[in-house]
């Protein structure tokens, strides 16, 4: 819901950092892999209940995720790079609820499972729309720099990041945050399915 407005606000900073990364010899794919490695580190820290360090690693991971696309646009975006980026992003998003389940299985396992199921809904509806939009040659004018059609919703990357950081800052309310965000993801899934059904008829 907030991705486009947030992206517009931070774009000048991300562009400056991307130019510095390019001058340092870092490629977009290297930044993608670094961001994923930081995401895995965040999950490990959370699993061992180092929640604040996990939050720092999550923020660093998402910074790399913002930079990889910016560096790609400064050089030459590739389909392979876009595929690597989105595939590793989805693995990262799944790893954080799983990490909370490991951190306190008796308390967190069920809400983490519900949240992961909700992520399946948002992710599958997002990717299914992107595949068929590409088949039809559709493009989203709101996100012209993306490698494929980005279908919006109530829960996008910004909202997910805020939720993850809140979970790290207040792990005692993980259950409430997980169930609450899962409900928002369910709304996103329903609206995307409805929109896709209407768009492709």
**By C-alpha distance, which of 112, 92, 91 is closest to 100?**
112
DSSP for residue 77: -
So what's the pLDDT on residue 141? 44
CATH of 3-200, one of 3.40.640.10, 1.20.120.1760, 1.10.1200.10, 2.40.170.20: 1.20.120.1760
Q: Domain map of the chain by residue range?
A: 3-200
So what's the pLDDT on residue 2? 54
So what's the pLDDT on residue 161? 95
Rounded to whole angstroms, how far apart are CA atoms 62 and 38?
9
DSSP for residue 24: T
Exposure pattern of 101-139 as b/e (b: 16+ CB <10 Å)? bbbbeeebeebbebbbebbebbbebbeebbeebeeeeee
The three-state (H, E, C) secondary structure of 118-161, written as one string:
HHHHHHHHHHHHHHHHHHHCCCCCCCCCCCCCCCCCCCCHHHHH
So what's the pLDDT on residue 144? 53
So what's the pLDDT on residue 88? 96
Instruction: Give the pLDDT of the chain (201 residues) as one tens digit per residue.
Output: 555 666 767 788 888 999 999 999 899 999 999 999 999 999 999 999 999 999 999 999 999 999 998 999 898 888 899 899 999 999 999 999 999 999 999 999 999 999 999 999 999 988 888 888 878 776 664 555 555 556 667 788 889 999 999 999 999 999 999 999 999 999 999 998 998 888 888
């Amino acid at each position: 819901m907030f991705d486009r407005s947030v992206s517009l606000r931070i774009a000048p900073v991300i562009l400056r950092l991307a130019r510095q990364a390019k001058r340092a010899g870092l490629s977009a794919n290297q930044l993608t892999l670094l961001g994923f490695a930081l995401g895995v580190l965040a999950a490990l820290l959370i699993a061992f209940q180092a929640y604040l360090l996990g939050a720092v690693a999550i923020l660093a991971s998402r910074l790399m995720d913002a930079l990889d696309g910016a560096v790609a646009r400064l050089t030459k975006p590739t389909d392979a790079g876009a595929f690597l980026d989105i595939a590793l992003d989805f693995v990262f998003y799944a790893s954080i609820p799983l990490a909370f389940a490991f951190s306190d299985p008796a308390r967190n396992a069920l809400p983490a499972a519900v949240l992961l199921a909700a992520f399946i809904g948002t992710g599958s509806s997002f990717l299914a729309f992107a595949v068929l939009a590409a088949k039809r040659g559709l493009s989203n004018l709101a996100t012209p720099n993306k490698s494929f059609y980005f279908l919006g919703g109530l829960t996008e990357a910004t909202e997910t990041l805020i939720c993850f950081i809140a979970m790290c800052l207040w792990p005692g309310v993980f259950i409430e945050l997980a169930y609450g965000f899962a409900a928002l993801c369910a709304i996103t899934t329903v609206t995307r399915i409805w929109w896709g059904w209407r768009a492709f008829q």
